[in-house]
Structure 1
């Protein structure tokens, strides 16, 4: 009756579960996956929110075939709605206060870009009065805002 006796506890030469020559120390690498995930979520949030940050005065703009302008900075917007009210950004102001308010908020002085938005059913004379006052004050970079004409 032959019995065999092993010389170790696990059958691997008496060394247990250890492997020769390897030590498992602390991992000293930075895991950037959570950082990338957070940045992608923030990117999506800002892409969705950016169009909502435009001027909120409801204006029905006329359509033209003009090409869009390239813009690197946010211009000051003056709007004339259907009722003839004048809005500087989103604040209603009288015609006499347009130029003083522009001078107060224009960061680059008379070189500031100013967009004039006029509702297509607004009085043409009111839109031209606003534009004439701004131009007479010395502002050079004026633009009329329109929608791009759609092919029908």
Structure 2
């Protein structure tokens, strides 16, 4: 059976509600925001609808209220050791170098500028024809990728 959602706090500002929601989610508590869109579109309706409501499941009410109390007291110590870090990023491919001078100060042109511009003028929208070209800023040499 699904658990009921209980409102544990209400905010006049959607930004503040998102910050607290993010903190609770970082602590592992499933939470939702109610009336966030109404307040976002018409901020003056915030008082009429009761603000942006932060809701958690019944099982997490006590823990969420304890975290909110800690935040309000200014005691926001967070245990960074318990967080699972993302895997390290893979190393980048070797930088492309100019075949003429060996410089790595180059620019990559992904689209054929001529077709891109003409299609924009004639059709009203650009057609992205891929064309991998490189140009060197140091010597001015231009080449296509292999």
Q: Provide TM-score, normalisation by structure 2.
A: 0.22
Relative to total residues, which structure has the larger strand share, 1 or 2?
A: 2
Relative to total residues, which structure has the larger helix share, 1 or 2?
A: 2
Q: Relative contact order, CA 8 A, sep 6+: which one is greater? A: 1
Q: Provide TM-score, normalisation by structure 1.
A: 0.21
